[in-house]
Amino acid sequence: MPKVDWIIEELVTANRILAREGIVDSFGHISSRHPDNPQHYLLSRARAPERIEAADIMEFALDGTPVDPQGRAPYLERFIHGALYEARPDVMSVVHHHSESVIPFGATGMKIKPIFHMGASIGHEVPVWDSHDQFGDTSLLVTDMAMGRDLAKSMTSSPTALMRGHGATVVGRNVRHAVYVSIYLEVNARLQKEAMAMGNVKFLHPGEVDKVRERTGAYGINRAWENWCGRAGREMQPEQT
């Protein structure tokens, strides 16, 4: 199977998983950098993740111009994806979502930090980006490259960022990794919120975060991926790298 077709199937699966695991509702999206052209990326047309099929996946230039739209309407916020691929060559997949437990952190400015080993993949501390600082009163949507680039600046060294009054953006070294970080960002935020209500929280030691992150690879991610595929009613594809 050509790599691009393989990645389109991965994206369909990723959308279904993000919906099944409660990271996205009818909104939110995941993209992959194009495997044959690093200046392009693949992203669904504007559709709810739980409904997406292979024919919905479109190709975009980094500035958000669709390559062959065939009448398909794109997401208004595709600029999040292009801006991150532009700023960070290490990034191969981007997720934007409004998962519920992260919103209260963005709204209060409390910092999300790893509270258990599964949360270490979010990084040492999740930065919060506020669109109002640079752009004032907007619909909060990232609807052009200027906003996308400002968001990307907040996560030059972070795999995750919260967006005040909006949601979160997560990047990964491939589609499976970006889904994995997105899911455990939500779980970590939920557990941290509970722990904060209970007393003083011992977060992971910084050295522990580093040790976990060094170890996080296909061994663990594919175990979860197989499970999430089953729960979402999708076949797990053999890995292509």
| Catalytic residue numbers, as ranges | 77
Site for a copy of itself in 168-227 (CB under 8 A): 187, 190-191, 193-205, 207-208, 210-212, 214-215, 219-220, 223-224, 226-227
Site mask, a copy of itself, residues 120-149, x = CB under 8 A? ------------x---xxxxxx--------
In 3D, which of 42, 148, 144 has the Cα closest to residue 88?
148
Residues 6+ apart with CB under 8 A from 239: 218, 222
Give the nearest distance from C-beta 90 to a copy of itself in angstroms: 22
List 82, 228, 232, 234, residue binding a copy of itself (CB under 8 A): 228
Q: CB of 37: closest distance to a copy of itself in angstroms?
A: 28
CA 130, 184, 97, 86 torsion: positive or negative?
Answer: positive
* Beta carbon nearer to a copy of itself, 134 or 227: 227
**Which residue has 């409004």 as its token pair?**
98
How far is 156 from 83, CA to CA, in rounded Å?
11
Comparing CB distances to a copy of itself, the nearer of 87 and 141 is: 141
Could you tell me whether strands 29-33 and 160-163 are parallel, antiparallel, or unpaired per DSSP bridges? unpaired
DSSP state of 45: B
Cβ neighbours of residue 84 closer than 8 Å, sequence gap 6 or more: 91, 94, 148, 151, 152, 155, 169, 171
Of 40 and 47, which has the nearer Cβ to a copy of itself?
A: 47
Residues in contact with a copy of itself by CB under 8 A are 25-27, 46-48, 50-51, 73, 98, 100-101, 103-110, 114-118, 132, 136-141, 164-167, 187, 190-191, 193-205, 207-208, 210-212, 214-215, 219-220, 223-224, 226-228, 230-231
